């Protein structure tokens, strides 16, 4: 029985080392595979026990594990939607076959890296057939609140490369100098007009016409102006009228002293703003604070628009898409605006090595991996997302070749045990001739 157990132990040793060689072969074969996580084979002794002074060899058995929590080196690329996770966490993806089938919620798979490009339908898809998943943003670019312990809120990231977009103007800042000499007695009443372009809700160019008319007194200096505002979208209609009085003291000369509202939105002395009703909705006009020289001023004898600024943009075409370190997918337009369209979360769990390994360097959560949670990239225990980058394989070829030599020697030794047991059994059979 002891000799037979030695034979069994030798066979178990051959099987165990063959398993280890399989993991080494897989690791070396995928040494250039982006995102590959190396396999590791561990040996465990089997002890049968001893009775009556004899020992029975139990042999050895193996367990294999994919080290998903190991991270490979990051290498740069020229594609802005080549993504890699730096630190803990995985990117959610789904098979394109499930999305095309349209059978409801697709299964969330996880990966640490991927090269995504838009396909014919605009989905960010890898050559391996994996589609990037994310939370869609609202029309204003904010991300709504989604559940974090389930993948139900995730959707395939779809980019409309032919998209047009524009932003309406909601605020105008007026920095204009009015001539102080125009409000002196005997001056000619001559209005100065300023036209400020803005973009309405449909991206169409309109303009506000701001007219400044001096109040000329019979004697002395009035330091007063009447400001009227009209909208090109509603010709002939005054949407705001204000009386401006300027300070002529030594310390604050030329700055606003007071603003009296005749019509339109009331002037707010705390902000230096008022609101006028343009055709597409309310428009905030900032003329500066009382006593402040950043808005409207009255100095010298020159009418000069010093600084006119506004928000909003005309309609533009999408030019590119990038993902920032927090997982925000930004669309860039040729008008210079940027719009957030998706957020890519990072998925974390207590035991990443307990996930089920699938093709294309993807993994599926399992009971062994624990409950997953969807984090904002860079928040909590997760790392961040690096664009223009891929994660290399975690295989160390030199280490694998060294382990191959060790495995070969161990396999040869176990084969020698079987050969020796065979010779001993042959000698036992030759006892009786």
The number of C-alpha atoms within 13 Å of 115 and in the hemisphere containing its C-beta is 15
Better-predicted residue by pLDDT, 300 or 336: 300
Local confidence band at 104 (pLDDT 50, 70, 90 cut-offs): low
User: Are 90 and 347 within 8 A, CB to CB?
Assistant: yes
pLDDT in tens, 155-193: 999 998 777 777 899 999 999 999 999 999 999 999 999
Quick check: 66 pLDDT over 70? yes
CA distances from residue 364 to 123, 177, 232, 327, 369 in whole angstroms, order as listed: 21, 66, 59, 21, 9
CATH number of 169-311: 2.60.98.20
- Kindly state the average pLDDT of the residues 15-41: 96
Cα(154)–Cα(147) distance, rounded to whole angstroms? 9
Residue with tokens 């000369």: 253
The per-residue pLDDT for 336 is 81
Give this prediction's pTM: 0.75
pLDDT in tens, 236-278: 899 999 999 999 999 999 999 999 999 999 999 999 999 999 9
């Amino acid at each position: 029985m002891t000799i037979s157990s030695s034979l069994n132990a030798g066979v178990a040793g051959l099987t165990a080392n063959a398993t280890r060689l399989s993991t080494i072969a897989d690791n070396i074969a995928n040494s250039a595979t982006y995102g590959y996580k190396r396999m590791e084979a561990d040996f465990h002794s089997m002890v049968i026990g001893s009775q009556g002074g004899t020992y029975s060899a139990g042999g050895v058995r193996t367990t294999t594990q994919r080290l998903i929590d190991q991270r490979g080196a990051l290498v740069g690329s020229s594609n802005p939607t080549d993504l890699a996770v730096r630190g803990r966490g995985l990117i959610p993806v789904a098979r394109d076959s499930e999305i095309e089938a349209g059978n409801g919620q697709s299964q969330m798979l996880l990966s640490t890296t991927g090269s995504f490009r838009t396909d014919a339908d605009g989905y960010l898809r890898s050559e391996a057939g994996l589609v990037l998943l994310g939370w869609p943003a609202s029309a204003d670019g904010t991300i709504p609140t989604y559940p974090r312990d389930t993948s139900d809120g995730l959707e395939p990231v779809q980019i409309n490369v032919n998209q047009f977009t524009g932003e309406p103007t909601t605020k105008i800042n007026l920095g204009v100098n009015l001539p102080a000499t125009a409000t002196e007695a005997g001056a000619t009443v001559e209005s100065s007009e300023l036209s400020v372009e803005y973009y309405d809700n449909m991206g169409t160019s309109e303009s506000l016409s701001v007219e400044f008319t001096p109040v000329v007194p019979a004697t002395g200096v009035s330091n007063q102006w009447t400001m009227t505002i009209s909208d090109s979208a509603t010709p002939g209609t005054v949407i705001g009228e204000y009386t401006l009085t300027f300070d002529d003291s030594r310390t604050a000369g030329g700055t606003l002293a007071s603003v009296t509202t005749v019509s339109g939105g009331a002037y707010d002395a705390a902000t230096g703003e008022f609101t006028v009703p343009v055709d597409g909705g309310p428009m905030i006009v900032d003329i500066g604070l009382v006593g402040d020289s950043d808005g409207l001023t009255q100095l010298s004898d020159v009418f000069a628009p010093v600084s006119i600024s506004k928000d909003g943009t005309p309609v533009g075409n999408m030019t590119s898409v990038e993902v920032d370190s927090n997982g925000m997918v930004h669309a860039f337009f040729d008008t210079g605006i940027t719009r957030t369209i998706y957020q890519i979360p990072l998925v974390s769990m207590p035991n990443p090595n307990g996930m089920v390994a699938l093709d294309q360097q993807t993994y599926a959560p399992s009971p062994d991996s624990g409950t997953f949670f969807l984090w904002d990239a860079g928040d909590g225990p997760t790392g961040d997302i690096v664009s223009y980058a891929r994660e290399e394989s975690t295989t160390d070829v030199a280490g694998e070749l060294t382990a191959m030599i060790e495995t070969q020697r161990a396999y040869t030794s176990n084969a020698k045990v079987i050969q020796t047991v065979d010779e001993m059994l042959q000698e036992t059979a030759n006892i009786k001739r």
